[in-house]
Structure 1
Amino acid sequence: MSVNKVILIGRAGKDPDVRTLDGGAKVASLSFATTDKAYTLQNGTQVPERTEWHNLIFWNKTAEIVEKYVHKGDKLYIEGKLRTRNYDDSKGVKRYITEVFVDSIEMLTPKVQQQAAPVPPPLPTQQPTQRQQQQVQQPAYQQQPYQQIPPPDDLPF
């Protein structure tokens, strides 16, 4: 048994490059950054922030989704598999490249929500309306829906 599974959470390094092949299939490529935060060891040694860059490849429906909704800087959750290929560069040197072929994508950057026109405060002689009372009483975390990422269902255990 073998497993080739990649899970990444990071940010798009550029807008996706989308092409349509002769057969009508779409393919999109995207540079993707994951960053380990800087930290200090107990002995005082400082470990700097480290960013890894990944090449993501999207096919067909996921390529269409990426083309439509993903932009530079967007935070994404990615699941896919590693693929390595080689090519000869212009000097004839064999080069290898590792890419993540994306199976599923989840947008983590919240949509820009249009704000409703602010409700003016009531005049001193007026009682607040029921809607105004609800806006005051409702905490901010309840105003945006929580998006839960479903666990993968193909784990080997």
Structure 2
Amino acid sequence: MSVNKVILVGRLGRDPETRYMPNGDAITNFSLATDEQWRDRNGERQTRTEWHNVSLYGKLGEIANQYLRKGSQVFIEGKIQSRKYTGKDGIERTAYNIIGNEMRMLGDRNDGFDSGNNYAAPPTSNPPPAPRRQPPQQTPTTPQIDDIDDDIPF
């Protein structure tokens, strides 16, 4: 068994760029910066930033192009894909790309936007969580019922 899964939370390094395939499907590309911070042996704060190339396809790519801008904070889930190419200097290199299949916009409505831009978040496809049902209070004279949820129609 093998797993190819990537989860990133970061900020866009540039505005998304969208192009369309001959069949009409959208491909949206952008760079995403993630960083980590730590203290070195001398107690000084160190930061390392990693840059990731992200591609989103179809409707997800169109949504990203419409609502994301440079500086926007976003959650991306997907897989990593590599491709080999030969550079202008004749040396073979490997490029890594994140193919996203899930995206969540993070931050507030003005995150990464100029004050003149209008922004409205797209409707979320996930319904709010259902409220949790509290079990009935048991009294010492009430027998314990193991299968109380069987009658509930939902």
TM-score scaled to structure 1, two decimals?
Answer: 0.66
Percent identity of paired positions between Structure 1 and Structure 2: 36
Q: Give SS of 1:62's match.
A: helix
1:94 aligned residue: 92
User: Cα offset for 1:40?
Assistant: 4.5
**Cα deviation per residue 1:1-48 (whole Å; 9 max; x = unaligned)?**
11111111110000011101111111011100001124244xx34351
**Aligned twin of 2:61:** 63
CA-to-aligned-CA distance 1:75-130 (integer Å, 9 cap, x gap): 01110100001122233322210111001000002114xxxxxxxxxxxxxxxxxx
Q: Distance in 1 between matches of 2:92 and 2:45?
A: 34
Alignment of 1:48-59 (within 5 A): 48-59=46-57
Give the residue type in structure 1 aligned to 2:72.
Answer: D
Q: Write the mapping of 1:24-35 to structure 2, written as runs, cut at 5 A.
A: 24-35=24-35
Partner of 1:68, secondary structure, is helix
Query: Which has the higher mean CA deviation after the structures are superposed, 92-101 or 26-35?
Result: 92-101
**Which structure 1 residue ranges, 4+ long, deviate > 4 Å from structure 2?**
none
Structure 2 CA distance, aligned partners of 1:105 and 1:89?
A: 32
Tell me the residue number matched to 1:9. Answer: 9
* Higher-helix-fraction structure: 1
| Matched letter for residue 75 of structure 2 | Y
How far, CA to CA, are the matches of 1:103 and 1:55 in structure 2? 14
**Gap regions ≥5 residues in structure 1:** 113-146, 151-157
* Unaligned ranges ≥5, structure 2: 111-123, 128-154
Alpha-carbon distance in structure 2 between the residues aligned to 1:49 and 1:10: 14
